[in-house]
Amino acid sequence: MHRRQLLCISLTLAGLSGAAAANEAVLNIYSARHYQTDEALYANFTKQTGIKINRLDGKEDELVERIRNEGKASPADLLITVDAARLEVADSLGLFQPVKSAVLEARVPAGLRTPTWFAFSTRARVIVHNKADVKAEWVQTYEDLADPRLKGQVCMRSGAHPYNLSLGAALIAHNGEAKTEAWAKGLVANFARAPKGGDTDQLRAVAAGECGVTISNTYYLARLLRSTKPEDQQVVKALGVVWPNQKTWGTHVNVSGAGVLKHAPNRQAAVKFLEYLASDEAQAYFANGNNEWPVIKSAVAANPALDALGSFKPDALPIGDLAKTTANAQKVFDRAGWK
């Protein structure tokens, strides 16, 4: 599902009548996860529980602003979004409420949850290079991308994008703000072009030789690996993948997650849905349907593209702590000129 202006899938949530809500079990979700493959998650939850899902899809900032404007009158029970930075924005605005659930505490690892929101899938941010132009040994760490020998070789999406801000927050946590700013300035000096497009655009640019190296979330790579289109297979053949920082702090990992909203009218149904997302069934679907790693290790995933990417050492920073540093990362990137 592509991003677009706020669209209600089932019916207009703000127009739910008190009578309708009272006559049937419902759950009202505001979602910034725009993956068509998620439809099965919603359908299976309703089939198992009888709880009808009304969903409002939109961009992250628009949904957060809508929830703020609706206040106590908001019909929304849950906010689902991608990236810890976005979850932290909502949390810092006081939009979530604490959730105590023995199921969630037992199944979701402590480093992938906070008192108010929970991660349900993970994706790693890897270095991808053109095998003909950039040697793998040149780009073994994120820090290597600032090396002057890569001048004119780096393609990146915007420094204001949450995926990169979360990576910046990790670099600040491990290396300090001053070293991260120096890294960002070196990175900008190596740009082959001004930042534009998404991760898939960067991958295609590297494969085409427009630049030599980029950073991408793994699920974009897995999509290309699973594609049967000849042009996608040509992209894959040109690319090499490096798990960054395996000899230091590990590869940066980010999440998709959700939290129960402060004024949720259907709190019990919301918690039940969070618990469903932590089930083996839902977890396997994150992996097989959208090429993300489950947070539950017992979940069975049969995704050859993820298997092909291999194993790696992830960064062990608690995701909640990481999220709180993204505002500093934005300031660092702004000073470095990474727009």
- Could you tell me the CATH number of the domain that includes residue 108? 3.40.190.10
CB 65 within 8 A of CB 16: no
Kindly state whether residues 108 and 144 are assigned to the same domain. no
Residue 77 lies inside a defined structural domain of this protein: yes
Q: Distances from the Cα of 79 to the Cαs of 26, 31, 38, 96, in angstroms?
A: 15, 6, 15, 9
For residues 35 and 74, the model is more confident at 74
Residue 309 lies inside a defined structural domain of this protein: no
For residues 40 and 29, the model is more confident at 29
Kindly state whether residues 244 and 285 are assigned to the same domain. no
- Which residues constitute the domain of residue 322? 123-251+318-336
Check whether 12 has a pLDDT greater than 70: no
Kindly state whether residues 142 and 221 are assigned to the same domain. yes
CA dist 303 and 20 (Å) reads: 41
* Count of CA atoms in the C-beta half-sphere (13 A) of 148: 0
34 is in an annotated binding site: yes
Q: Which pLDDT belongs to residue 304?
A: 85
CB 303 within 8 A of CB 290: no
Q: Lowest mean pLDDT of 1-10, 26-35, 166-175, name the range.
A: 1-10
**6-16 average pLDDT score:** 41
Residue 277 lies inside a defined structural domain of this protein: yes
Kindly state whether residues 31 and 130 are assigned to the same domain. no
Torsion of the alpha carbons at 310, 198, 223 and 250, rounded to the nearest 10: 10
Kindly state whether residues 322 and 183 are assigned to the same domain. yes
Check whether 72 has a pLDDT greater than 50: yes
Kindly state whether residues 198 and 324 are assigned to the same domain. yes
Residue 308 lies inside a defined structural domain of this protein: no
Residue 171 lies inside a defined structural domain of this protein: yes
Average pLDDT value over all residues in the chain? 90
**227-248 average pLDDT score:** 97
For 288-300, write each residue's pLDDT tens digit: 888 888 898 766 6
According to the per-residue pLDDT averaged within each range, which of 11-15, 36-40, 56-60, 244-248 is highest?
A: 244-248
CB 80 within 8 A of CB 274: no
Q: Which pLDDT belongs to residue 301?
A: 62
Residue 2 lies inside a defined structural domain of this protein: no
Domain tally, the chain: 2
CA dist 134 and 149 (Å) reads: 10
For residues 14 and 194, the model is more confident at 194
Kindly state whether residues 264 and 237 are assigned to the same domain. no
Residue 306 lies inside a defined structural domain of this protein: no
Check whether 7 has a pLDDT greater than 80: no
Kindly state whether residues 92 and 16 are assigned to the same domain. yes
Instruction: Give 97's pLDDT tier (boundaries 50, 70, 90).
Output: very high
**96-116 average pLDDT score:** 95
Kindly state whether residues 131 and 99 are assigned to the same domain. no
Q: What's the whole-model pTM score?
A: 0.86
For residues 38 and 161, the model is more confident at 161
Kindly state whether residues 37 and 130 are assigned to the same domain. no
Instruction: Give 4's pLDDT tier (boundaries 50, 70, 90).
Output: very low
Kindly state whether residues 191 and 213 are assigned to the same domain. yes
Kindly state whether residues 151 and 286 are assigned to the same domain. no
For 42-55, write each residue's pLDDT tens digit: 999 999 999 999 99
Token code pair at residue 163? 């995926």
Check whether 21 has a pLDDT greater than 70: no
For 250-283, write each residue's pLDDT tens digit: 999 999 999 999 999 999 999 999 999 999 999 9
Residue 305 lies inside a defined structural domain of this protein: no
Q: Which pLDDT belongs to residue 185?
A: 98
220 is in an annotated binding site: yes
> What are the start-end ranges of the H helices in the chain?
18-23, 39-49, 60-70, 84-92, 102-107, 162-175, 177-189, 199-207, 218-226, 230-238, 267-277, 280-290, 304-309, 319-323, 326-336
Q: Which pLDDT belongs to residue 23?
A: 56
